[in-house]
Structure 1
């Protein structure tokens, strides 16, 4: 719908008795925009629309960049484009809603449809500061600078209260020692640990179930006792327990990793940490409606202190390797 037609339609809906909220939903507008449209009569609306056609907008100098990105990667979200403008063009003086509107107009003008993706469910349970961290894994195929493709493996962490995230990538499937090393890096990144950590029943941590009790791998059992945190193991397909981390893995893969060109793992991880600071932990979270970095500042004093970092670099060959397999033990929830 053209802008002038939308202004007229907004007036029509108002005359028919629709509320401002209902008009906003029907027209895919914000309430403030609806109020702006209602303040204009038809002649004023025509002058306004003509003025918009000739007015230079903030994103116009970057139209070619954005258009090339959309043509090469039709699945790019406006959120990713806003991040790429910051990372690659050092342009950040603009709201994400403005980028979203601009991208939507480019898609319509150049007939570049958006590939839709379903949203992952996240339970709304809010936990106290320093109570819980969730951990999960992901895999992603990306293009390399040499034109080939490579599969990368990521482990992601999120503090359940503040939604403050950490992620680490590698070029091979995770072993138990890799997982424990990444825990140490995450504890260092956060400046402490939580009271409990949530996992799937994964063979890197668990061996079997015996009479209702989970038997952990030797390495993980020793690590758990050393770091003295409680463990919560999720049931299979249990979004209520681990929806937060499932959304984080999806966000890290989709917003950071998707359509990014891989050069080497060290550079990739550096870029990911920069993305976490710039986007992953800075963008306002849809559920808590706050920036995770700001909420984390209040949560950090509630984290448990971690002593000197442990080392897991030696004897990697004896570690269990994580592969994508079906669960091999019965599932249950455990509270400690």
Structure 2
């Protein structure tokens, strides 16, 4: 009870109101009104311990399942029944709903990074735009990267999303930023990860991209499955490019489009950012990025494979397998 109401009840009692009248006026049981009226100090309340439920022994495992994937309450109930749970659907539904709300709030809390710590990368597919290249019309994709601290943005348009193209765009972004951060966040794109498991350490990265990251020394960070919100900065940039740069755009070639894209990057990176209230170019000076001290050769892995191959002068022996790749034969 609020202190003011407790004093009002005491005052009305002194004015002659009965406990029944006090209960009617303040919507309380007369016995409760009496207790308040006779109390020399404001009543204090303590919350009672919540009653145990059939869900209690299973809450931890349900939390782990929901971290893994956004299972429905019905699917959670099925999994719990396999473990011996004998409760009803309603109690499971109530708990799953509350946990999903907590997870969504946690995922959407703005995550601020330290200078030089993290970048985020994503692809954008612009299905309503084409570009004429090599004698034919091609689909248009956009490479996007943003630095977490400074909010420096870089975009580049391409006609494919191969691993070689991804690496080349990374190098162009690094040159534009003047270096690269300690780690870069990705979703589970096949150019970065071949087999995604719950723990990143157990996942299999794309061999060429892993070699590229290791060459420079930055760490690829994979988003948890179904938890793409952690890459929110770059995903907002994708939408920003759609709504700001691409509206009414006119271009006659891929080079022309990328020239306009670079000019757009310079413009937005030179304006005050709505979140940081600072200019990205100015915050970039505090990033402390690792400098580009050497150049990665995109085809270096293939070159290594060529050097390891044995090129026979005669026909292969029965225990040899002829490689159709560049005519080499290797021992098996």
How much does 1:134 deviate?
0.4
SS in 2 for 1:139: strand
Pair 1:220–1:165, CA change in 2 (3 A): same
Root-mean-square deviation over aligned CA pairs: 2.7
How much does 1:284 deviate?
2.1
Q: Which moved more, 1:285-294 or 1:232-241?
A: 232-241
SS in 2 for 1:290: coil
- Specify the structure having the higher radius of gyration (Cα): 2
SS in 2 for 1:273: helix
Partner Cα distance (1:239, 1:143) in 2: 25
What residue is the counterpart of 1:176 in the other structure? 163
**Matched ranges for 1:47-62 at <5 A:** none
Pair 1:177–1:305, CA change in 2 (3 A): same
Match of 1:310 among 296, 320, 324: 296
Total equivalences in the alignment: 191
State the structure with bigger RCO (CA 8 A, min sep 6), 1 or 2: 1
How much does 1:142 deviate?
4.6
How much does 1:305 deviate?
1.9
Alignment gaps of 5+ in structure 2: 1-106, 303-332
Is 1:274 the equivalent of 2:263? yes
SS in 1 for 2:125: strand
What residue is the counterpart of 1:46 in the other structure? none
**Matched ranges for 1:141-290 at <5 A:** 141-142=127-128, 151-170=139-158, 172-209=159-196, 212=199, 213-278=202-267, 280-290=268-278
CA contact (8 A) 1:207 1:217 kept: yes
Alignment gaps of 5+ in structure 1: 1-120, 317-336
The runs of at least 4 consecutive aligned structure 1 residues that moved more than 6 Å come to 313-316
Is 1:298 the equivalent of 2:286? yes
SS in 2 for 1:298: coil
Partner Cα distance (2:115, 2:256) in 1: 33
Partner Cα distance (1:217, 1:149) in 2: 29
SS in 2 for 1:306: coil
CA contact (8 A) 2:191 2:206 kept: yes
Q: TM-score, normalised by structure 2?
A: 0.52
